Amino acid sequence: MNRFAHHGLLTLCLLAVGIGQALAHSTDEHAGHNAAAKSASSEKAQVKFADVALVDQNGKTVRLEKDLVSNKIVVMSFIYTSCTTVCPVVSSIMGKVQKQLGARVGTEVQLVSISIDPQRDDAKRLNDYARAFQNGPGWSWLTGSTQSVNETLKGLGSFSGDFKNHAPLILVGDGNNRHWTRYYGFTDPAVLSREVEKLSGERNTHAKHTAIAMEHQP
């Protein structure tokens, strides 16, 4: 083997090692994400809202159900700001949903993103992170004490015990109903928007039936 061929082989070997190390880092950072991110799936689930104080990206203390979820149709994600692999994709999906739904976000619809790394993600950090994805009002980014966040995640079926092994997940539901849909993996934003439309339609149909029933009461 001549000197140039040997040099080329050495370069390829070093490149392969570098790629392997990069993949290992990515896998370590989000060990639980790889399989879940490949194919999206969904399931019906029942949720519970912990009555604990959380903090939004503006430093305001909020209670998830009372202040953000009640009477709203909600799209909710779970992220942490130091994540460089899956979380930016999930947040980008949420941003596209916000654009698709337009002015309804902030009125009928509420977007929520909860940090699963509350020890590092304070309000300022969330505020800085949100700027890359948020376009307009109606999207709250939440953190809080570790205990409050963990109680919240457990009630929503999104607690893993290790945020680096947290699978990509988006919840969609009517804040007046405990039965929601969990979307795993990288879900098409249009699918999430259609679910919001469906819930909105069901809500309007229910309101009409209630109004008709009231009219026919003696």
pTM beyond cutoff 0.85: no
**pLDDT of the residue at 41:** 93
**pLDDT of the residue at 24:** 38
Which of 141, 144, 137, 79 has its CA nearest to residue 108?
A: 137
Contact yes or no for 91/169 (Cβ under 8 A): no
**pLDDT of the residue at 164:** 76
**pLDDT of the residue at 35:** 45
Q: How far apart are CA 30 and CA 193, in angstroms?
A: 27
Query: Please, how many CA atoms are within 13 Å of residue 107, restricted to the half-sphere of its CB?
Result: 5
**pLDDT of the residue at 206:** 61
Q: Is 79 helix (H, G, I), strand (E, B) or coil?
A: strand
Q: How far apart are CA 184 and CA 95, in angstroms?
A: 17
Tokens of 115: 């940090």
* Residues in the chain where the model's pLDDT stays below 50: 4-7, 9-37, 209, 211, 214
**pLDDT of the residue at 110:** 98
**pLDDT of the residue at 142:** 98
CA distances from 53 to 14, 98, 109, 114, 139 (A): 50, 25, 22, 13, 18
